[in-house]
Amino acid sequence: MAPPAIIAPSILSADFANLGADCSRTIAQGADWLHVDIMDGHFVPNITFGPPVVVKIRSHVDIPTQPHGKGTFDCHMMIAEVMPKKWVKEFKKAGCDLYCFHYEAADSTAAESPEETSELRTSPRELIRYIHDNEMLAGIAIKPSTKVDVLYDVLDSPNENERPDMVLVMTVEPGFGGQKFMASELPKVTELRKRYPDLNIEVDGGLGPATIDQAADAGANVIVAGSAVFGAKDPAEVISLLRKAVDQRAGKFQLPDYFKHHLKAKLSPIAIVHRIPARQGATGKAEVAVEGKKPIKKRSKNSLSEDDAKARFRNGLFDKNVLTKYTNGYASSTPYKHSVINELIDDSLLRKVRSEIKENVSFTPKETDIYKIHQSGDLANLDGLDDEALAKLPSLLELRDGLYSQTFRDYVSHITRCGPLSGRKTDMAINVYTPGCYLLCHDDVIGSRKVSYILYLTDPDTPWQAEWGGALRLFPVVDIEGKDGQVAKVPLPDTVKVIPPAWNQLSFFAVQPGESFHDVEEVYHAPSPEELEKNGGRIRMAISGWFHIPQVGEDGWVEGAEREAAKKSGLMQLQGNPDQHDLPQANPVTVDEAESESEGFGEADLEFLLKYLAPTYLTPDTMERVAEHFEEEFSITLADILHPKFAARIRKYVEAREAMALPETSEEIEMGDWKVARPPHKGRYLYLQPGQTRAKDSPIKELIDVLLPSKQFRMWLQMATRSAIKSHDIIARRFRRGKDYTLATGHEGSPRLELNIGLTPTDGWGDEGDDDNDDDGSEASSDADSDDKKKTNGSSKSTNGKAKAKAIEKAPEPVEEKEPAEVGGHEVYMAGDDDSNEDAAIYKSSADDDNILFFQAAAWNKMTLVLRDSGTLRFVKYVSWSAKGDRWDVSGSFEIEEQDEEPSEEGNAGPSGAGVLDDSEEEFQGFSDDVDSDSD
């Protein structure tokens, strides 16, 4: 008789803005456990939660009173092989009740904390015993590609302390929520239930009302359901339905019809250019899905004969002289070794592949700080489709098996001199870039990747034009010697090799840590719908993926090679301390203590500030309201901050600069006042720092050299934020359209005050306060005028309904609502996984929400102030070529003294780097934490 049903909703589908409340409510609605997906970006390419988040939600859910009891935190540890044991104690302290690690990562370091290192290794049995010794339940999970019989050794252990309390069978590839259910994995559940009738068997992935009967028939009793529960109109009803399905089968287990209705019927073709939401909504990784009902027989890959494999490629490709030509070309290529093979595949076969994809494959739009694309699921999952389903994709399967055949792997290995490649680990997906899509600079180094490739499936009858964008672009790397004499490899900000897409073209290169930096140029919007139609929609379709080092049982496999490769790549990326060569470098200026202790404004101080700041923001009433708001919310947006006359000077300067054509190269640009930020895998933009003596006088230089570093402005800022400033670091930035961005970076250390003054004169950035015509208005200098100012919604937003920051602006004129422009350029703060110091009053928040974001679109004459805590991530989204101009701003960070006051009764200390808006404000839907899509 199978154990009773346990329903464990996955919090990956919860509302992150109200995570604690959502978890508490779900338990009250009938859930037994909460399934907490822990991902590190290594074992799976996504990143989710850390111990601090578990600590926070634990405070909202009662601790279970008995093993497997209500409120159990089922922590699914999708973390790399070197980590599982190191995190056991950390998650125990955080509130984890069941620690479920992956069998595939169980060859773990014996170190017992994240800080320790150890050359000793552990095993699944030892890890289970260690988990039990730390008074937690132990679970062991297997991925779809892992056979169930690998678990028998631990399940049959004579030592009860080395046997798991639960087995998790993944019914999707681990790493993302929202995937489609893989019924092909249910025979594993059936086999486990036959052998171990009393075992808790969990299934995770694609579970809901439509698939629960199959899982329950197979013998699963622990059901993980994410969006099916959290996205339901009545979660309690769904939980009850899931429980009933399992309990009805308890005690009368029978072989099921696993495969009924497990694939989608007809999927929308991608030939139609669908508009991608400006803010990422979907986070799930799509599966390749077509109709099908027949039982699935798992297929073996890559057993093609040499003749069968060669028949899938163009005639003559494998001729010795052709291979020699590509090998020599690869060896002499720059800026790093790469190759381009045109007309790779038999043309008729590839045309069939493209047609099958258009008719039968679905795509998920994905967007993060580094990319914006549409992506299919992993094509390794083709082996899980039944015969009728696979009959719709025969050419796609033929292509995949040809690419990973021994014959073609040897061909690639010969050209790249990279050694043997795996045929078992197929790692490829279909990526579609429509206008506005892109991928920013990265080096492709993750795990066991050895060769990166792109095979283009653009329209064969409408040749791709270089001016449409979408090119693969390679960055040069230079060796720079540091002050310590060590040499670091640093990528330069400009690409030097541009490879436009072309039908049936393969581009590939061996992945080289710290060297193989590349990006994918934005696919540019057509000037008109008619032109877009004429261009076939400008759909840049490609199959992208990697060849990996040999896996266990394959020729060329070396025990520990993958671990050593990861270790070596990490060392190569850090060699020579490349961070010391980042530009711009932080340049904090310490405040004179005697000056900082002075209080109040004298008449001369006010006269100085009146030259630069709007008079409204110098009145006592306004300053008091600003300070009260910031003290409560820890962020604020101030519209029309600059004096109209000074703002007009800045506008004139910016518009004149935009009217001038910029040089093409960074070297030419840096002959002038502005410099180019680097390295490009962290960010790229133009910048101007204070004190650049050769820089010509300009109102922006006056802003960063005179106003912001001044004693008077510092006094104003201290009054506005009720903080004591210890240092300042100021920079002016220009983000060029079609070029510039910053990628997400964290802040470590004490909280700091961050300022941004938007100086972008063009509109269309999605800012709610786009009013460009206020500069010539009268000065609002009286108290009455000040009282007429109202708190209104700023442009701050949050992911998935997370809280946002308020703004103090002029009472707005009624305007028609219109969709935000999709041009990027917005600055985003996202909470990371750092620990928080709940003793400091400065951390308090006026709401119960954790992981709060702050969002500000590019804007004109608007100041934002944010108190940024340790661990908070920040980035500026890539500015699309379709923007009406560049994004201009001045950014400053101010080190402040930590305050000793206790938290108020209304707020609790927390890690949020931004405050909370009222419910009337528009919500920022955020970007996907999905990071698997760094393929091209």
Catalogue the active-site residues: 10, 35, 37, 39, 76, 78, 170, 204
Instruction: Return the number of other C-beta atoms located less than 10 Å from residue 325's C-beta.
Output: 12
Question: Could you give the C-alpha distances from 765 to 91, 368, 760, in angstroms and in order?
Answer: 42, 18, 9
Tell me phi and psi for residue 68, to 5 degrees: 70, 10
Asked whether the beta carbons of 641 and 865 are under 8 A apart, the reply is no
**CA-based nearest residue to 874, from 912, 832, 829:** 829
Residue with tokens 């190569």: 572
Distance of CA 138 to the CA centre of its chain: 30
Asked whether the beta carbons of 212 and 241 are under 8 A apart, the reply is yes
**CA-based nearest residue to 803, from 766, 845, 757, 849:** 849
Radius of gyration (C-alpha) of the chain in whole angstroms = 29
**CA-based nearest residue to 861, from 654, 640, 643:** 640
Cα separation, 879 vs 51, in Å, equals: 34
Asked whether the beta carbons of 566 and 478 are under 8 A apart, the reply is no
Structure tokens given for 805: 């920051």
**CA-based nearest residue to 32, from 8, 54, 10:** 8
Query: Treating both helix axes as pointing N-terminal to C-terminal, what angle do 620-633 and 711-721 enclose, rounded to 10 degrees?
Result: 60
Q: Is 337 left (phi over 0), alpha (psi -120 to 50) or beta?
A: beta
What is the sign of the dihedral through the CA atoms of 592, 596, 600 and 606? positive
Dihedral of CA atoms 527, 531, 537, 542 in degrees, nearest 10, equals -80
Q: Which residues contact 332 (CB under 8 A, 6 or more apart)?
A: none
Cα separation, 677 vs 679, in Å, equals: 7
Helices (DSSP H) in 1-47: which residue ranges?
19-28
Cα separation, 395 vs 400, in Å, equals: 9
